[in-house]
Amino acid sequence: LGVADARTLRTSLERHGRAEAFDTAFPVLRRWAKRRALEGNAWGYFGGLGWAVLLAVPLIHDPLLCATAPDETWAAWRAW
């Protein structure tokens, strides 16, 4: 179901006009999580899809993050 979940997440981001913001911030988030060893199900941490959801949901629903420009998304999400 991972592919279907990812497709649904992507569709939702596009429908709300936040796909560009997500695309800008997600690679930074992955590097950040990897450097801190916060990624991977073996230790009970989020996998890639978990981090994607954790980034995408507030981009769609939080009023402040909905208004954030794509190049400011990473900093705004971390502050969130």
Instruction: Return the pLDDT at 64.
Output: 93
Q: What is the pTM of this model?
A: 0.86
Contacts of 79 (CB under 8 A, 6+ apart): none
Instruction: Return the pLDDT at 57.
Output: 95
Q: From the CB of residue 62, how many other CB atoms can be counted at a distance below 10 Å?
A: 14
pLDDT tens for the chain, 80 residues long, are 788 999 999 999 999 999 999 999 999 999 998 898 888 766 777 788 889 999 999 999 999 999 999 999 999 999 99
- Tokens 């911030």 belong to residue: 25
Token pair recorded at residue 3: 């592919």
Contacts of 51 (CB under 8 A, 6+ apart): 26, 29, 30, 33, 39
